[in-house]
Amino acid sequence: SQQPSKDNPTKRGGEARRHVSSESPLPAAETSINVVVVVVPVASPNDLRILCFYYESLDKLSGPEVSIVDNADSEKFECKNSTKCSERIHRTSLLDSAFELLDVTFFNQTEYEPAQDMRKKFSYPSVTGVRRPESEEDIAFMSVLELGQLIKTKQISSEELTGIFLRRLKRYNPVLEAVITYTEELAYKQAKEADDLLAKEYTWVTRGPLHGIPYGLKDIIAVPHYKTTWGSRTFKDQVLNIEAWVYKRLKSAGAVLVAKLVSGSLAYDDIWFGGRTRNPWNIEEYSTGSSAGPAACTSAGMVPFAIGSETAGSITFPAARCGITALRPTFGTVGRTGVMSISESLDKLGPFCRGAADCTVVLDAIRGQDPNDLSSRNTSLDDPFKVDIAKLTVGYLDDAEMERASVQGCQYGSLRTELHCRIRSRYLEFHDGRGYVGSLDEWQRSRQDDDYEAQDQWPVELRRARMIPAVDYVQNEYGYSIFVIRVIVQQAQRARGKLIREVKESFNVDAFVGNATDWERVCMGNLVGMPVIVVPTGFKNISNTRRRTTITTGIYALPEHDHIALALAMAYQSVTDHHKQRPPIDDLGPNDSILDPPTVTIPP
């Protein structure tokens, strides 16, 4: 708890008060007890610091921006490890409704325990009768579950499988420009450990189907001793010797990291300091971003799966362009410690895979509460493999590009689902950023922005920005002082809460099918934390060529109902084979054959 200052007497207890909602029920007005808040840090259960705050009348408590106590009166009500406030504390413990405002419990009611992983593992389907193909090409396009079965039955070792994917990465990357760093030494080390463990009985059962499976990480995810460049020339030599939470999860599942894959510069678009990532289905197209590398590499069979991120479209757009299955999970499902942050309230991590079943397996490995990410939690997901789709009703939007598949038992309603809600605040992206804009001003005036990619996209705007201080720009453009942004952010968060409730109330189906790249839907889905899985549904021929472009759609569900979207995607893919198609990676164009070995320089 921080000491209040003359400029901000409300700062004490701010961490607790940030949970207060202006629409939460208040204690009864006739309550005579004037103790409003007791802040009890529980860093150690035997060392409690008690702070008593009092207020003249509870009916004045209307939201987080209201002052709790005057600075002049705060000190005389403070007590530390003494009995001075014991009577008032006892009376405060009776005010359960007041504590509901803060989403906390009274300090003596529960025993302090560290956060525990309460996840219930999914029940994976039995994969039997899998035989090792003769060609490495066929092996590369097998599903995660099939590859896991090959490893489990010792038809292939993890080291051999790792070698196959490393060779493919090095062979095709010169054209696709999708890899930033090969983690070859680490990969073979982890693969050998996986093989050694597999020699022990029951290892596959205890470690799961990802044991020994190679994969890639978007290069905004930190891995010790390897570069984490964020796709930017400025940070191309940056090494963050921390283990990202999602990397820890996959390592504990026995998965093998083979490469750090392209992120668009600073997690934006598909342009990075080494080039621009291309679409394996049509190299005249770019993969879009910013999870460009994970999408392109998974599509080309260069990795069985990869982890990407999304703030606004960075999973859905490249997955749709590259024709693969990818899941943007409910906000907070996957911990983000060790990952470059764009927006704490929007950033999400999710898997890129060849099929929905693989997405389910990977999600099961990486979901759960990250103790260092306050937004993460143990979401109460049901098992997608056990969802009874006969009980589901699915709506579809007019823009859904889908093939009418006869999925047994699933009710497809011939209806149009409308989400009756609007975003009423135009300031949702603003932060309390006085320090940020000051740094930006100095950064631009010193011409450090010349080091960043995509400078030619807004040349006039970027050069004009050097002439106008950032603080002046915000004040002149939006007509208010930078110092009131905090209030606007609070209003925006309340508007966001209302938007989430409106979306939930408008959901009259279990899920709906719609365009996964519609910008308005992308923004709304990310604002409310809604899960969506991108599913390939077909192809369109490109005129005057023999190449095709992929068609995809999205299956949307309510927050914390990822299992519904996953179950429907698995049902659809059980009767279609669009997700099993392979891009013509070995014949990229009339005059663009791939040499083996490649002659193009590999990125550092």
Tokens of 602: 């590999």
Active site (annotated) includes residue 218: yes
For 106-148, the pLDDT digits (tens) are: 333 333 333 344 557 899 888 889 999 999 999 999 999 999 9
For residue 218, how far is the Cα from the chain centroid? 12
Show Cβ contacts of residue 323 under 8 Å, excluding neighbours closer than 6 positions.
281, 299, 536, 539, 550, 552, 578, 581, 583
The DSSP element (H or E) to which 462 belongs, if any, is: helix 459-465
Location of structure tokens 């289905």: 281
Residue 53's SS3 state is strand
Q: Which amino acid is at 547?
A: R
Residue among 221, 219, 218 at smallest CA distance from 294: 218
Show Cβ contacts of residue 168 under 8 Å, excluding neighbours closer than 6 positions.
136, 140, 300, 301, 302
473 — pLDDT class (breaks 50, 70, 90):
low
More confident residue, 71 or 333: 333
> Alpha-carbon distance 375 to 347, whole Å?
10
pLDDT at 602: 40
For 172-229, the pLDDT digits (tens) are: 999 999 999 999 999 999 999 999 998 876 655 567 899 999 999 999 999 999 999 9
| Proportion of the chain above pLDDT 90, given as a percent | 47
**Sign of the dihedral defined by the CA atoms of residues 146, 148, 153, 157, in that order:** positive
Active site (annotated) includes residue 348: no
- C-beta of residue 554 within 8 angstroms of C-beta of residue 534: yes
What integer is the mean pLDDT of 71-85?
42
> Alpha-carbon distance 275 to 270, whole Å?
9
State the catalytic residue, choosing from 265, 290, 299, 309.
Answer: 290
Active site (annotated) includes residue 232: no
**Picking from 36-40, 186-190, 250-254, which range would have the lowest pLDDT averaged per residue?**
36-40
> Alpha-carbon distance 165 to 303, whole Å?
6
State the catalytic residue, choosing from 74, 232, 263, 314.
Answer: 314
Mean pLDDT of the chain: 74
Domain annotation for the chain: domains and CATH numbers: 14-102 (no CATH), 136-388+564-574 (3.90.1300.10), 434-477 (no CATH)
State the catalytic residue, choosing from 143, 158, 170, 218.
Answer: 218
> Alpha-carbon distance 379 to 37, whole Å?
29
pTM for the whole structure: 0.70
Residue among 431, 387, 419 at smallest CA distance from 571: 387
For 298-326, the pLDDT digits (tens) are: 999 999 999 999 999 999 999 999 999 99
Q: How many residues does the chain have?
A: 604
